[in-house]
């Protein structure tokens, strides 16, 4: 099984989730958000195809990392390969964050026709969901680009069958609440 990546694994990140993390930059994104900082990751034919055994070897050699973050690109466009890597990393006691341009609700719908998406979700601890909305860009949005994006406890959400946000990352701001409601029913 291969995965298409935009870049090599990047260790020691402190901005792509909680703690010290290694980021896996997937290649290919269908969302094309206005103001995206990673537009070179949009093309599904660009980047490099890497065997996931190579990624696993790199994971074996990581030092002092709290977790793995899937970013891109949209990792949900390669759910089978990402799911295998996430499972492997979890066995090594690394926690998993994932950024996606899809909303959680959209992923629930997509997972009905693509079981790999649910399999991937089952191995994600924290999901940062939704497109980057340049009009909602805010410095208050820790670990996110814009305030519509939510930081979701995935396992709790799957168990309860409803979106469970991680309390400490909820921005107590009316604008965010209004915009979160707007995205709730897409
Ligand atoms: S989802 Fe992320 S990578 Fe894709 S266009 Fe939006 S900001 Fe860029």
| Closest ligand 1 atom to Cα of 100 | 1
Query: What's the sign of the alpha-carbon dihedral 47, 48, 54, 58?
Result: negative
The rounded distance, in Å, linking the Cα atoms of 70 and 91 is 16
At residue 177's C-alpha, the angle toward residues 172 and 181, to 5°, is 160
* Closest residue by CA, ligand 1 atom 6: 33
Reported confidence tier of residue 172, pLDDT bands at 50, 70, 90? confident
**Domains of the chain: total:** 1
Reported confidence tier of residue 173, pLDDT bands at 50, 70, 90? low
The rounded distance, in Å, linking the Cα atoms of 161 and 155 is 10
pLDDT of residue 94: 98
pLDDT of 178 higher than 90: no
| 31 CB within 6 A, ligand 1 | yes
Question: Would you say 80 and 116 are in contact if contact means Cβ atoms under 8 Å apart?
Answer: yes
| Closest ligand 1 atom to Cα of 101 | 1
Tokens of 33: 């958000």
Tokens of 170: 């909820």
| Summary mean pLDDT of the chain | 93
* Closest residue by CA, ligand 1 atom 7: 36
CA 126 to centroid of ligand 1, rounded, Å: 17
| 75 CB within 6 A, ligand 1 | no
pLDDT of 181 higher than 90: no
Mean pLDDT calculated for residue range 104-128? 98
What tens digit of pLDDT does each residue of 3-22 get?
999 999 999 999 999 999 99
CA 6 to centroid of ligand 1, rounded, Å: 13
Mutate to test the pocket of ligand 1, among 32, 130, 145, 183 (most ligand atoms within 8 A of CB): 32
* Closest residue by CA, ligand 1 atom 3: 73
Question: Would you say 129 and 100 are in contact if contact means Cβ atoms under 8 Å apart?
Answer: yes
* CATH number of the domain bearing residue 150: 3.20.20.70
What is the CB-side half-sphere exposure of residue 14 using CA atoms within 13 A? 1
Q: By C-alpha distance, which of 150, 76, 160 is closest to 119?
A: 76
- Domain region containing 94: 2-184
Q: By C-alpha distance, which of 94, 127, 91, 95 is closest to 108?
A: 127
Percent of the chain surpassing pLDDT 90: 89
What tens digit of pLDDT does each residue of 53-106 get?
999 999 999 999 999 999 999 999 999 999 999 999 999 999 999 999 999 999
Whole-angstrom CA distances from 167 to 76, 102, 151, 156, 164 are 24, 21, 9, 12, 9
User: In Å, how far from its chain's centre is CA 65?
Assistant: 17
| Closest ligand 1 atom to Cα of 29 | 4
């Amino acid at each position: 099984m291969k995965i298409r990546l935009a870049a090599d694994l990047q260790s020691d990140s402190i901005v792509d989730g909680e703690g010290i993390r290694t980021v896996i930059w997937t290649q290919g994104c269908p969302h094309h958000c206005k103001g995206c900082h990673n537009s070179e990751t949009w093309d599904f034919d660009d980047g490099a195809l890497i065997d996931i055994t190579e990624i696993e070897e790199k994971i074996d050699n990581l030092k002092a990392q709290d977790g793995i973050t899937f970013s891109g690109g949209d990792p949900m466009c390669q759910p089978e390969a990402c799911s295998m890597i996430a499972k492997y990393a979890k066995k090594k006691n690394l926690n998993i964050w994932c950024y996606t341009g899809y909303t959680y609700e959209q992923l629930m719908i997509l997972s009905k026709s693509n079981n790999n998406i649910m399999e991937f979700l089952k191995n994600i601890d924290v999901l940062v969901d939704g497109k980057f909305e340049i009009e909602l860009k805010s410095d208050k949005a820790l670990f996110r680009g814009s305030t519509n994006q939510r930081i979701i406890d995935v396992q709790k959400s799957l168990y309860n069958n409803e979106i469970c946000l991680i309390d400490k990352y909820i921005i107590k701001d009316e604008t965010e609440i209004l915009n979160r409601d707007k995205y709730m029913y897409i």
